[in-house]
Amino acid sequence: MQYSGTVQKMTARLETPVRYQLTVGTAQVDMSALLEKPLTLRCTGRIFCVHCNRPTNKSFNQGYCYQCFTRLAQCDSCIVSPELCHYEAGTCREPVWGDHFCMQDHVVYFANSSGLKVGITRASQVPTRWIDQGATQALAVVRTRSRQQAGLCEAMFRQHVADRTNWRGMLKGEQEIFDMPAERDRLLGLCRAEFALLQQRFGLHALSLVNGVEPLNINYPVRRWPDKLVSLDLETLGTLSGVLLGIKGQYLIFDSGVLNVRKYTGHELELGFDE
């Protein structure tokens, strides 16, 4: 069986373990069904912008052509640093897009991916965001009315805990288990005064603690962890052949190394395997 077309990040369904699909052109390929099977991935060298679909020689910000990268609000620096959101200042490049993306409920969470970390996501993206990061544990902590408010909470917590996932740590295998409610209480205690100031600034209705929820434990379809964490580059290799050993986050784990699928968003690939 062979599929060909532009690739998007894998979609995931929360099951035990997580169920993954990969979009290749118009096809949805059940990647979980391909575990322990030999696959071939070939990079054709063609790249198309995920926004305007124009061909581009280089992908920016995981899938955009240069024109879209420099023009779109979704590629602005405040997406990476949400505490710098300038929507309310009236300088958002696309206010209508900002209404739908930034000015909606967000969740500040703690997760265990390559260790304990803080992060934010739109409330509608729970638990998708956690799965994309390869988190094995996650707990919602604060709910806010906007992305900027969530970003300010994240900046507050990252004085005491990491805010990034180390992909090597995430893919190394068995991980330390955290008492997530205890970590939540510890970090909230460290940030009690700063959190009160944020509530005073935006109002108690805008930033509220999430109560009465249990941590989510997430299991991934991994048959065997890689012996060595070698990052595979399809653009350099041209063609990758190997047995699929597992999937975690947005990584395919092969017997020869690991491939970050999200890196190839908008790239035209060919996927082949025997049924």
Q: What is the pLDDT of residues 55-74, one digit of tens each?
A: 999 999 989 999 999 999 99
**Residue 207's beta-bridge partner residues?**
144
- HSE at residue 45, side-chain half, CA atoms within 13 A, is 3
- Mean predicted confidence (pLDDT) in 115-142: 98
- Mean predicted confidence (pLDDT) in 243-270: 97
Say what the pLDDT of residue 108 is.
98
How far is CA 48 from its chain centroid? Answer: 21
Q: What is the pLDDT of residues 38-52, one digit of tens each?
A: 999 999 999 999 999
Checking if the pLDDT of 208 tops 90, the result is yes
Checking if the pLDDT of 246 tops 80, the result is yes
Say what the pLDDT of residue 86 is.
92
What predicted TM-score, i.e. pTM, was given to this entire model?
Answer: 0.95
Checking if the pLDDT of 36 tops 80, the result is yes
- Mean predicted confidence (pLDDT) in 221-248: 94
The amino acid at residue 137 is Q
Residue 230 backbone dihedrals phi, psi, to 5 degrees = -100, 125
Q: What is the pLDDT of residues 161-206, one digit of tens each?
A: 999 999 999 998 888 999 999 999 999 999 999 999 999 999 999 9
Per residue in 155-190, is it b (16+ CB within 10 Å) or e — as a string? bbbeeebeeebebeebbeeebeebebeebbeebeee
Checking if the pLDDT of 226 tops 90, the result is no
